[in-house]
Amino acid sequence: MVKRKSTKSSKSTSKQNLKNKNKIIILFLIVFLFIYFVILPQKKTQIQQDTVKESEEEYWNRLQEELNDTLNTPRDLNDIPDYITKIPDNALNGFDNLTSVTIPSSVTTIGKSAFQWCTNLESLTIENIYNIKHIGDYAFANCDLLDVTINNKKYKSCINIVVDYISKIKPTVFEGNKIGDCPLV
């Protein structure tokens, strides 16, 4: 007489094997999703940052070349990258084709005479003056500034700017502009 294995025991073993396979598949999916959604995006971002970003000095040199190539074409400078923290001394001094400049929140220093003698510069926006630790003398001197916006507040007079930001802005910063010379405080 041949003994047959019980069908109950065989079904139970099959169910257990199926449960184990399902657990392995679920574990594999979890690991795959973690790698796909957590690890790979971090690596991609790091690679982009390592390969794309030019130095601040390279940025200002390239911008000067671009402006020199288009001297007779009005230009807005409203796209300074967020990694730029310093606008160097004399960075764009004398570039008459600049009509508008936006200083992003990332900038902490605006150098001496950075935009001086940009005689067609009519509009200036400083996104967050509280991030700026230093604004050099004559940074925006002898421009045609008519409209200055600082921290979303529009100014039509230099005296109001100096009164609101006395600790940040020296009177010489806006000397010789259409918004008026700032009184020595």
Which residue in the block uniquely carries the two structure tokens 């991609």? 44
* One domain, residues 106 and 144: yes
User: Residue 166's pLDDT is what?
Assistant: 79
User: Residue 17's pLDDT is what?
Assistant: 76
* One domain, residues 19 and 84: no
The pair of three-digit structure tokens given for residue 105, joined into one six-digit string: 């929140």
- Give residue 185's pLDDT band: very low, low, confident or very high (50, 70, 90): very low
| Predicted confidence (pLDDT) per residue in 13-33, tens digit | 777 777 788 888 888 888 888
* One domain, residues 134 and 148: yes
User: Residue 160's pLDDT is what?
Assistant: 82
Residue 122 lies in a domain: yes
**Domains in the chain: how many in total?**
2
pTM value is 0.68
* One domain, residues 78 and 40: no
Radius of gyration of the chain (CA): 31
User: Residue 41's pLDDT is what?
Assistant: 74
* One domain, residues 13 and 83: no
Among 144, 169, 131, 152, residue whose Cα is nearest residue 160: 169
* One domain, residues 156 and 66: yes
| Predicted confidence (pLDDT) per residue in 96-106, tens digit | 899 999 999 99
Does residue 156 have a pLDDT over 90? no
Residue 1 lies in a domain: no
* One domain, residues 60 and 46: no
User: Residue 91's pLDDT is what?
Assistant: 95
- The mean pLDDT of the chain is 84
Does residue 7 have a pLDDT over 60? no
* One domain, residues 93 and 147: yes
* One domain, residues 88 and 153: yes
* One domain, residues 24 and 89: no
* One domain, residues 30 and 94: no
Residue 182 lies in a domain: no
Are residues 129 and 102 in contact, defined by beta-carbon separation less than 8 angstroms?
no
* Residue ranges making up the domain that contains 22: 8-52
